[in-house]
Amino acid sequence: MSIGFAVNIMRGGVLQTLMISSPILLIGMLVGLIISILQATTSIQEQTLTFVPKIVAILGAIFLFGPWIITSMVQFTKRLFEQIPNMTG
């Protein structure tokens, strides 16, 4: 296995991780930003107010994007298993 082949596998893994985590992280960040703006405009400084909506939004995003995440990971794993014969040469 050459260095280029290993780098290509690592690059694919990092890209796959970014693709899978980005929708959930973006939804969490967006909900956090909205809650922060609401807290700043109403002068409510309750710390627990930020966590509950974020947790609910992230769990909703996981349920919404779950099938896509599973399908994407299965396809990535299949591609890795198909490349195993190329790794020995």
User: Which pLDDT value is given to residue 33?
Assistant: 93
Beta carbons within 10 angstroms of residue 14's beta carbon: 10
**Does the pLDDT of residue 3 top 70, yes or no?**
yes
User: How many folded domains does the chain comprise?
Assistant: 1
Domain extent at residue 48 = 3-87
Could you tell me how far CA 39 lies from the centroid of its own chain?
Answer: 27
Lowest average pLDDT, out of 15-19, 43-47, 67-71, goes to 43-47
User: Which pLDDT value is given to residue 40?
Assistant: 87
Distance CA 17, CA 19 (A): 5
24, 58 Cβ separation under 8 angstroms: yes
**Does the pLDDT of residue 17 top 80, yes or no?**
yes
Distance CA 32, CA 25 (A): 10
